[in-house]
């Protein structure tokens, strides 16, 4: 999967956790999950679990800690999918 393909899928993962659909429509790699998408921190683990099941990967907590913006989420997902940097 390309980074763009992962981003498109990631948007679907994030959708249930943000009420700010306008910000979601405009996401790019620099979008911060909490500051820009107004996602409550209590949902961060949900997003990681949803990403794990969507991509059939396991995200250890060290990697999970890095998933604060869209770009770093894509980094972690692509690494765990065994593709390294796309």
Partner 1 sequence: MISIGNDIVDLSAIDKHRTQQKAFYSKILSDKEQQLYSRSSHLPFEIYVWLLWSAKESVYKFAKRLNPELVFSPVRIEVSEPEFIELKNFQNDPLDGTHLELSDLKFGEFLNSENSGSDNISEYNYQINYQSDTYYLRSLISNTFIASIASDSPDSSKIHWGIKYIDQPDYQSQSTSVREFTLKIINEIFPGEVTFSIDKSPVGYPIILKGQVETTIKASFAHHVNYVAYALGI
- Which residues of the chain form contacts with partner 1 (CB under 8 A)? 19-20, 35, 38, 40-42, 44-46, 48-49, 52, 61-62, 64-66, 68
Q: How far is the CB of 40 from partner 1 (least distance, A)?
A: 6
* Nearer to partner 1 (CB atom), residue 4 or residue 40: 40
Give the burial string for 68-77 (b: 16+ CB within 10 Å, else e): ebbbbbbbbb
* Nearer to partner 1 (CB atom), residue 19 or residue 28: 19
Q: If phi over 0 gives left and psi between -120 and 50 gives alpha, with beta otherwise, what is residue 56?
A: left
List the structure tokens of 9.
């899928």
Q: How far is the CB of 1 from partner 1 (least distance, A)?
A: 22
First to last CA, the chain: 8
Q: How far is the CB of 67 from partner 1 (least distance, A)?
A: 10
* Nearer to partner 1 (CB atom), residue 10 or residue 51: 51
CB 24 within 8 A of CB 14: yes
């Amino acid at each position: 999967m390309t980074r763009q393909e992962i981003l498109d899928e990631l948007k679907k993962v994030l959708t249930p956790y943000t009420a700010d659909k306008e910000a979601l429509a405009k996401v790019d790699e620099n979008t911060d999950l909490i500051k820009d998408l107004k996602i409550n921190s209590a949902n961060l683990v949900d997003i990681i679990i949803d990403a794990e099941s969507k991509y059939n990967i396991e995200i250890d907590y060290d990697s999970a800690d890095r998933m604060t913006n869209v770009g770093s989420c894509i980094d972690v997902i692509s690494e765990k999918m065994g593709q390294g940097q796309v």
